[in-house]
Structure 1
């Protein structure tokens, strides 16, 4: 497809159009997470109106991710061949349309169907956005823009925490879905006007230097998917993403209720604390991404600047969660502890696509990143349901019922990080994959 004059076709890095695309994709991520979080933010009035138990609500909330993985993989393969500009536009439009039946539904079954369909439409958003972004930014400059795009999710959850309780209090919980539909329509118009397809080559920066100095690092056109998906480093990236999404699912589904019913805040105050918890993640993740990019610039390996950094921050977050669940703290101290603990593990979601992009051929980058998101998002499908079962089994335990679920999440974070510290070696996997696998025809 031809580029407009404002976005000239070029294989060179162009900062201005690249950052315009990053800004638009950040807006898409914001809408994506507004759509995800809205159900958790209206949980209390919705559960009361529809007479749902915690286990039933956890099932409905987790259903968002039932087809999330399937659609992510399918669209990921399509993104290898179809311009991401049109895929992203189709997704944004479908999200807006699917908000409307949620606003009118009167039963848990109908709501579940709506969430399943919306999840299928939203599943491919992150990997497709990253694939589109990587067409504008070279390898050494990817950590920060991906982190910025991820902060669209943070912005969405902040807006949800501040705005949704106010809308619900004044007009009822259903009006939130009409607002989300209108927001999606605005983004689609902006994307039609300014969204373009990048043409940046795959081997730039550090990747090109490695190719020039190490013939074994040269990437074939394609590799067998079985070989890619059984590589130890790739599997470790998947595992880190799985537990990070488990935590994310726990946060967007149960944190608002934990703040209100577990810690005793009013719905408005709980929404504001939720927004603070989410807002805290933005400077943490962006700052750590800048640290990772700086480490790469000064000669650190991907294992040091991306893999180990992700694992260390994940363990640190898990230890804070353990403290929250086991140490006697005031409600305010628990909120602050959750804010830091929830922010640190999210770094791996920013750095994972860059690690995968380094290991696999350009022609398969979109599909492999999509597979990673599909596998990772299973954590968000299972996590809320598990937490709901735990909460329902300990209904008389107050805040401790929610904290038992938090403790389970902490253990999973530590196990995943220790596994990745042992077996996640992106550079070694790149050399091994390319040496052992013969190129395949497209």
Structure 2
């Protein structure tokens, strides 16, 4: 059955729920290594630096595969791309469950990272085919809460599974969950058609020249100041994400002295706090847009100010004499504020760039951003090993570095991120491209 060509809230939100479930699985796959870090490091004889290297390797091919699939998503239905990804994730859990070799574990994480890299931009691209521009903030934020749910479930379930059956069983459970999602997607997943309607409307207006009706050289898009600013915000947010999923469980256990089960619960609390904050801020942004605010105010400035506030909390955690519980609460609030840009960034890119190139640009953003998650865990691991004798301070040094990077990115966005201005600039650049294309056709 073909998808409706007008906005249908019920169908659109059904797809959003399925994509939220996929995001949940995606982040369970990401966090599982960090959640089993202590027994896994002991079992395989890994130092903190080597573990950080292996954890970061998950993102090595993340960028390459994200870009390749992003270009593919411009031409192939996202329904089938997402199904292929979900099936591959499920299969790739099995060798991780059985491996006894550090090299084999490293290879598994690299390959799994390549398979999971395109998930977020492809899901966003699929979601945008169901929601019009002014209604995109909230569904993307909800989909991102699949990550929150996945990390919460990891904090509650993985320590319990590890304690009862051993760390390897977690990977078998993830394989089964991934297979179940594939069955549901085959049954209920469909391709949205709003893009087709939009293209048709634009093409019927012979004199209308819009950046959404033409293609531009990628060099022109990727050197736009606003696009670069969104990429930078994503990079530091993913740096934080890599730090959180790799080192926060170990910091809670070894740095702050919580038991493994208590650490899992605190971790779940930290992650759970992000859900209401991100959804609330996304709803606020959408409400500001409805009331006539510019996207500069409702998206760019709101994102930048919240990131600066979160970064200052990270720096406070690293420098002030706080109790363990106070440090956990600081991390929870700071992490929620600083990751808000992951919900708003794709909407800003979709507003600015040509429709025909949206999938590849959103994918390129994720590819660049994921480099932060590849570098961050390794840097934190080196700091932890270098300052191991200082206990919690070793981890907090890395947290302070992250806070500084977040402030730099947010200040750059305040200076250069102007979505409306970039839209006008890219429209002007698209005009001669469109005219030349029509002349060629004649």
Give the 5 Å matches for 1:170-319: 170-201=164-195, 219-319=212-312
Q: Which residue of 1 aligns with 2:54?
A: 60
C-alpha distance 190-14 of structure 1, shift in aligned 2 (>3 A) = same
Q: Is the 8 A contact 1:217 1:430 kept in 2?
A: no
> What are the residue-to-residue correspondences of 1:360-371 with 2, within 5 Å?
360-371=353-364
Runs of 4+ in 1 over 4 A off after TM superposition: 214-218
Paired residue for 1:72?
A: 66
CA distance in 2, matches of 1:370, 1:202: 20
Contact 2:137 2:286 in 1 (8 A): yes
> Structure 2: how far apart are the matches of 1:108 and 1:318?
35
Aligned to 1:38: 32
Structure 1 residue matching 2:5: 3-state secondary structure: coil
The CA distance in 2 between the partners of 1:192 and 1:271, in whole Å, is: 33
Preserved CA contact (<8 Å) 1:217 1:431: no
Residue 217 of structure 1: CA displacement? 5.5
RMSD between aligned alpha carbons? Answer: 1.7
The structure 2 residue matched to 1:384, chosen from 377, 384, 397, is 377
Contact kept? 2:155, 2:268, Cα under 8 Å: yes
Look up the match of 1:336: 329
| Structure-1 separation of matches of 2:339 and 2:184 | 28
Distance 1:163 1:61 in 2: 20
For residues 348 and 235 of structure 1, what CA distance do their matches in structure 2 show? 14
TM-score with structure 2 length normalisation?
A: 0.95
1:286-344 deviations in Å (ceiling 9; x for gaps): 00000000000000111111111110010000000011011110000000110001110
Q: Larger deviation: 221-230 or 92-101?
A: 221-230
1:324 aligned residue: 317
Q: Does 1:51 align with 2:57?
A: no
In structure 1, the partner of 2:348 is: 355
CA distance in 2, matches of 1:244, 1:38: 20
CA distance, structure 2, for counterparts of residue 219 and residue 185 of structure 1: 37
Question: Is 2:92–2:112's contact at 8 Å kept on the other side of the alignment?
Answer: yes
Instruction: Tell me, in whole angstroms, the C-alpha distance in 2 between the residues paired with 1:219 and 1:133.
Output: 17
Deviation at 1:11, TM superposition (A): 2.0
Separation in 2 of the partners of 1:361 and 1:55?
43
CA contact (8 A) 1:202 1:362 kept: no
Counterpart check, 1:394 vs 2:387: yes
Distance of aligned partners of 1:324 and 1:10 in 2 relative to their CA distance in 1, 3 Å threshold: same
Give the match for residue 425 of structure 1: 418
Aligned to 2:428: 435
User: What is the DSSP-based 3-state SS (H/G/I as helix, E as strand, rest coil) of the residue aligned with 2:339?
Assistant: helix
- Structure 1 residue 109: Cα displacement: 1.1
5+ unaligned residues in a row in structure 1: which ranges?
none
- Following superposition, the deviation at residue 107 of structure 1 comes to 1.5
1:366/1:334 CA distance change after superposition, 3 Å: same
CA distance in 2, matches of 1:188, 1:300: 40
Structure 2 unmatched ranges of 5 or more = none
Output the CA distance in 2 between the equivalents of 1:86 and 1:38. 26
Matching residue of 2:96: 102
How much does 1:219 deviate?
Answer: 3.2
- Does 2:426 correspond to 1:404? no
Q: Structure 1 pair 96/218, CA: closer, same or farther in 2 (3 Å)?
A: closer
Number of aligned positions between the proteins: 430
Q: How far is the alpha carbon of 1:362 from its aligned partner? A: 1.0
Match of 2:10 among 9, 16, 21: 16
Once the two structures are TM-superposed, the CA of residue 10 in structure 1 deviates from its matched residue by 2.7
- Alignment partner of 1:152: what SS? helix
The answer to whether the 8 Å contact 2:18/2:185 transfers is yes
The separation in 2 between residues aligned to 1:143 and 1:424, in whole angstroms, is 17
